């Protein structure tokens, strides 16, 4: 597939998740939550999780943000639901390395999150793409904590 076609496909996926975010709202029985803010652009999310032992039984989010941050949060909820906390952390680490360019990550290793790989060309947008993920990390490890991209 040509680069322009791939970009168009990625934009379509991002806009779809922005306009119709998956798992938007607090899941029933959520026992973990954390808030994330990006003061530079105003993105603000609260991420919720319900743990069943060490497994993320349900995950959701509320708040508002740009297309990148909302799409990333939506995709995140789809990818971590049903996974162990360790698997969720590993997905975030690979995704973070991909969007920051700090590691040699195969884009395919992050599944659908590959659509956000292009944000590494725009450092200010990396914070948008990772905001909900930082909040999820806090919800899983330090419930109730607020995180900021600054």
For the chain, the domains span: 3-142
Which pair of tokens denotes residue 98? 């991909």
Strands 146-148 and 32-38: parallel
Bridge partners (DSSP) of residue 11 are none
- Measured CA to CA, the distance from residue 115 to residue 70 in angstroms comes to 13
Q: Across all residues in the chain, what is the average pLDDT?
A: 92
Which of the residue ranges 4-13, 114-123, 135-144 would you say has the lowest mean pLDDT?
4-13
Pick the more confident residue, 1 or 70.
Answer: 70
Which of the residue ranges 25-34, 60-69, 102-111 would you say has the lowest mean pLDDT?
102-111
Residue 142: pLDDT over 90: no
Which of the residue ranges 26-30, 78-82, 86-90, 105-109 would you say has the lowest mean pLDDT?
105-109
pLDDT, average across residues 91-105:
90
- Entry pTM: 0.92
Q: What CATH number belongs to 3-142?
A: 3.90.1010.10
Query: 52 falls in which pLDDT band (50, 70, 90)?
Result: very high
Residue 2: pLDDT over 70: no
- Measured CA to CA, the distance from residue 126 to residue 146 in angstroms comes to 19
Percent of all residues in the chain with a pLDDT value above 90, rounded to a whole number:
69
Pick the more confident residue, 9 or 120.
Answer: 120
Residue 70: pLDDT over 80: yes
Residue 1: pLDDT over 50: no
Tell me what pLDDT residue 93 has. 94
Pick the more confident residue, 80 or 105.
Answer: 80
Buried b (16+ CB within 10 A) or exposed e, 100-110: eeeeebeeeeb
């Amino acid at each position: 597939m040509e680069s322009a076609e791939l970009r168009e496909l990625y934009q379509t996926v991002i806009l779809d998740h922005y306009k119709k975010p998956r798992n938007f709202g607090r899941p029933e029985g959520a026992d973990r939550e954390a808030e994330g803010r990006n003061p530079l652009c105003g993105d603000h999310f609260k991420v919720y999780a319900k743990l069943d032992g060490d497994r993320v039984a349900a995950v959701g989010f509320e708040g508002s943000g740009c297309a990148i941050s909302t799409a990333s949060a939506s995709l995140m909820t789809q990818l971590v639901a049903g996974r162990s906390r360790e698997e969720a952390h590993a997905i975030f680490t690979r995704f973070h390395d991909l969007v920051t360019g700090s590691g040699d990550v195969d884009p395919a290793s992050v599944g659908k999150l590959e659509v956000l790989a292009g944000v590494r060309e725009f450092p200010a947008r990396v914070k948008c793409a990772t905001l909900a993920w930082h909040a999820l990390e806090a919800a899983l490890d330090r419930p109730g904590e607020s995180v900021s991209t600054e």
